[in-house]
Every structure is written in C-alpha cells, then in structure tokens.
Amino acid sequence: MTKHRLSLVFVAAALLAAFAASAQARSTISCESREYRYNRCETYTDGYARLVSQQSQAPCIRGQTWGYDERGLWVDKGCAGEFEVGGGSRYDQPQSYPEPRSYPEPRSYPESRSYPGPRPRY
C-alpha cells in the first residue's frame, strides 16, 4: 500500500509541475492594425490571450477589434497593443470573431387583413 501512495504522490507532483510549466510559458507580442485594417499576428496562443497595454487611440475591445484563435492574434479598426499569449488551460475557449456580417433587411409583409371573426357553426 505504501508503494501505491508513493505512486499517487509522484503522479500528483508531475501534474503540478506540468501545470506550472504551462502557466510560465506565457509571452508578450505586439500586434497592430495599420491604417484601420485587419491584421493577423501569427503566434502560439495555447488557448489564452489578454491585452496587457493598449498602444493606440482607437479602442481595443476583445471580440470586436481584437481576438485570438489557435493560429494567433488578430486586430482590426486601429487597435494596437501588447498582448500576453500562451499558457492557457484547455478549458479556455478561443475568442475568434469573424468580421461582422451584414444581413439583408427582413422582407416587408403585407399588413394582416382583418377578418370579421369566427364562422358560426350550424
């Protein structure tokens, strides 16, 4: 039974070390949208990215003017900043938001006709 406990302690220590190494694998990257255009900055996000400092006057709003996915960071509409990436957990969801799509206006339907009411039963 002592060997079994020792094995569990070893496994727990290995998992803790792996988690700590993952958290330490974070790095920073600069990414900017030049002339208010979409730009992609290739980097390994490991499911994690956050804006550390904004370098632009244009707003940097996650999901609107910046985001990330498994391929890296993206910025748009003048956003520029320093981003911390990597070392995320598997439970973080990549925040990739495509360009806003314009949807056609709904069709106008004719106004409903007024009916006199239910028919009498015979």
Give tens-digit pLDDT for 49-71.
999 999 999 999 999 999 999 88
DSSP type of residue 44: -
The whole-number pLDDT of residue 94 equals: 47
Q: How far apart are the first and last CA of the chain?
A: 87
The strand pairing partners of 80, in sequence order, are 32
Which residues does the chain have with pLDDT short of 70?
1-24, 88-117
Burial group, residue 70, by CB count within 10 angstroms (0-12, 13-18, 19+): exposed
**Cβ atoms 55, 28 nearer than 8 A:** no
Helix or strand holding residue 15 (H, E)? helix 2-24
Task: Enter the pTM of the model.
Answer: 0.55
